[in-house]
Amino acid sequence: MDLPIITTCEAEACAYNRDRTCHAGAITVGDTVRPHCDTFVEVGAKGGIATETGRVGACKVAGCRHNHDLECQAEGITVGYVKNEVDCLTYAPR
């Protein structure tokens, strides 16, 4: 199974973000209710793999229609802001 790609990330303050592209090997999305990007981190240095585009490793939002057995089944996701929180904007309720 190929992990879903992060097509765009608007969280430019994140250490894994370069030019609106995520470079984390695999992010984790959510708690059991909200689709937060749990991998978002603000630090002075940039991280991740500069030549790779980030992917979704796990999703903990049980109420999302893309979530099957804690794995995201969307082709790709967009990460951005909802009320100053960094969330998966591809989230869709069941």
- Burial class of residue 89 (count of CB atoms within 10 Å of its CB; 0-12, 13-18, 19+): middle
19-77, pLDDT tens digit by residue?
Answer: 999 999 999 999 878 999 999 999 989 999 999 999 999 999 999 999 999 999 999 99
Which pLDDT does position 31 carry in this prediction? 86
What's the rounded Cα separation, in Å, for the pair 41 and 54? Answer: 14
**Per-residue pLDDT at 35:** 96
Is pTM beyond 0.85 here? yes
- DSSP secondary structure code for residue 37 in this structure: B
Q: Number of helices and strands (H, E) in the chain?
A: 0, 9
Strands 21-22 and 17-18: antiparallel
What residue segments make up the domains of the chain, in order of their start?
5-88
| pLDDT score for 41 | 97
User: What is the biggest distance separating any 2 CA atoms in the chain, rounded to whole angstroms?
Assistant: 38
